[in-house]
Amino acid sequence: MTTLKQLQEQLEAKQRALHAVFAEAKTEDGGHDFTRVKCLGAEVKTSRQVVEKVRAMNAELDELGEEIGGLLEAEKAALRLAEREEAVGRPPHPRGDDAEKAGGGRSIKSLGQLVAGQKRYQDWAKSGAAGGITLNFADALPSDLLAKGMAVETLGSKALFATTAGWAPESIRLPGFVEAASRPVQLLDIIPLAQTGFEQVVYMEETTRTHAAAERAEGTAFAESTFVLTERTNPVRKITDSVPVTDEQLEDVAQAQSYLNSRLTFGLRQRLDGQVLVGDGSAPNLRGLANVSGIQTQDGTDQAIADAFFKAMTKIRVTGRAMPTHHVIHPEDWEEVRLMKTSDGLYIWGHPSEAGPERMWGLPVVQQDAAAAGTGWVGSFQPAWISLFERRGVDVQIGYVGDQFVQGRRTIRGDMRFAFVVFRPAAFCEVENLGETT
């Protein structure tokens, strides 16, 4: 059985072989002339033959990358299982209906269901809803609430309306609504998630590691190495969202439930997704990857985007001593990669009739537009080098603000608390000036 390390070594070797093809084909004006390629052997002569060979090599990289990704996911799953087994003091999950109880299953409730099912909330609403009320769901797993919040139905189904003799047909408005366009959550899926019970994440970083081991003659002084550890601190930050609603809307449980699921939860996740990349670190912002001190840089001026990203991968391996796992790139920059052609018009990264995998050099490509086009990142998104720490679950509160009481309105608010830590900045590289020329 091939191990993860062996697969990664195979991937690196094939990446270098493919990069050698592009290096030979590169022309002075930044284009590619594949008739100049000699490293594929004498039997590969024409540009069409070279492109076919490149596609085959790229397909092998994709296959290896997917296999490595599967093994990494299995390792993450094993790690999460171990963490859950070691956890103590967490209350049990709430059970669902009688059928689920009989089967021993577990149901995941949405925020709306949790609010509507609270007896304190029901009693408060029946008594006239005077004053405010605080509901705390700290015992619910936030990851379950976030996942539930993504399951949004905007066009549900209703019983078929049929006309009868003597009655004119009626026009009925479709249930639900058409959602407005909004930036999707793009990066959270590749960032390892952990939990913390403190207001800040404190850890030790080895900031100096100088090995001085050397040969010495008999009776002479030993060589002396130097190691220094430095304490690092990353604060937990709070992300919030809220919206005013009328008394009538809160009384309609279905509407309140839909609102809580599709708006508050998504808004919190979307903001967190942007913060982990472009947050400036100035309180109360998180410090995102783009503003972490110590990450490496690679200039992409006057070179193909694919070349710049490969050079960034090399820096991560050589300087960061880590294995790159993902590319993060703006859709407009990825478009330039996907549309690369030979001098005679052949697409390099796959024929237009094919969707093509979103991979480059065998690594998954994560398209993001939280940051502007022209800048991308390569990194080793492993728990040892980067993690998102969750302080507590989503807290939902309902109350009055200002003169809302006399207006028949209330405010629903939600928040979450997270810390974002890049343990080894050198395991990440920012690729700058993509597509620019001098």
Tokens of 100: 């689920």
User: 429 to each of 207, 235, 298, how far by Cα in Å?
Assistant: 19, 24, 7
* Pairwise CA distance, residues 304 & 434, whole Å: 8
Within 13 Å and on the Cβ side, how many CA atoms surround 60?
16
Say which amino acid occupies 342.
T
Residue listed under structure tokens 């590619």 = 32
Beta carbons of 270 and 181 less than 8 angstroms apart: no
Residue linked to tokens 């390792």: 75
Contact of 213 with 225, CB cutoff 8 Å:
yes
109-152+182-214+224-330+368-438, what's its fold?
Major capsid protein gp5 fold (3.30.2400)
Domain-wise residue ranges, the chain = 1-90, 109-152+182-214+224-330+368-438
Q: How many residues does the chain have?
A: 438
**DSSP letter at 291?**
G
Shortest CA distance to 139 belongs to which of 165, 168, 109, 169? 109
pLDDT tens, residue order, the chain (438 aa): 778 888 888 999 999 998 988 888 888 777 788 888 888 888 888 888 888 888 888 889 888 888 888 888 888 888 777 766 665 444 444 444 444 444 444 556 666 677 667 777 777 677 766 666 666 666 666 666 665 655 544 444 445 555 555 556 667 777 667 778 888 899 999 999 999 999 999 999 988 999 999 999 999 999 999 999 999 999 999 999 988 888 888 787 666 767 676 788 889 999 999 999 999 999 999 999 999 999 999 999 999 999 999 999 999 999 999 999 999 999 999 999 999 988 888 888 888 888 777 899 999 999 999 999 999 999 999 999 999 999 987 777 888 999 988 998 888 888 999 999 999 999 999 999 998 988
Amino acid letter, 220: T
- Quickly list DSSP for 23-74: HHHB-TTS-B-GGG--TT-TT--SHHHHHHHHHHHHHHHHHHHHHHHHHHHH
* Of residues 48, 34, 110, 91, the one with CA closest to residue 265: 110
DSSP 237-258: EEEEEEEEEEHHHHHSHHHHHH
Amino acid at residue number 250: L
Torsion over CA of 182, 186, 189 and 195, rounded to 10 degrees?
-70
